[in-house]
Amino acid sequence: MKKSNIAVATAVSGLLALAGTALTTTTAVAADAKEKCYGVAKAGKNDCATKTSSCAGTAKVDGQKDAFIMVPKGLCDRLNGGSGEAK
């Protein structure tokens, strides 16, 4: 009985380790496939500091030209008002 418990515990541990590795790899790949998109963030929804403030979530108006959000690569060019550079 004890041998079967050890075998099950070993199998479960292996599956958990494999799942953790897969999640880490997916997150790393997803982070590489993003870009900053200026001028499309809603008020209070920007991802990082602006020229006038030092905190995320402080954009004063929708579409503030110096506030950005992270979007998948290639999407910013398709968004109305989106730009890869702050204005």
Query: Which has the closest alpha carbon to 31: 87, 80, 70, 86?
Result: 70
pLDDT, tens digit (0-9, with 9 covering 90-100), for 1-42: 566 677 666 666 665 666 666 555 555 555 579 999 999 999
Does the pTM of the predicted model rise above 0.85? no
End-to-end CA distance of the chain: 69
Query: Which has the closest alpha carbon to 61: 44, 49, 36, 84?
Result: 44
Tally helices (H) and strands (E) across the chain.
1, 2
Question: Residue range 54-60: average pLDDT?
Answer: 86
Specify the pLDDT at position 82.
87
59 backbone dihedrals φ, ψ, rounded to 5°: -60, 135
- Return mean pLDDT, the chain: 79
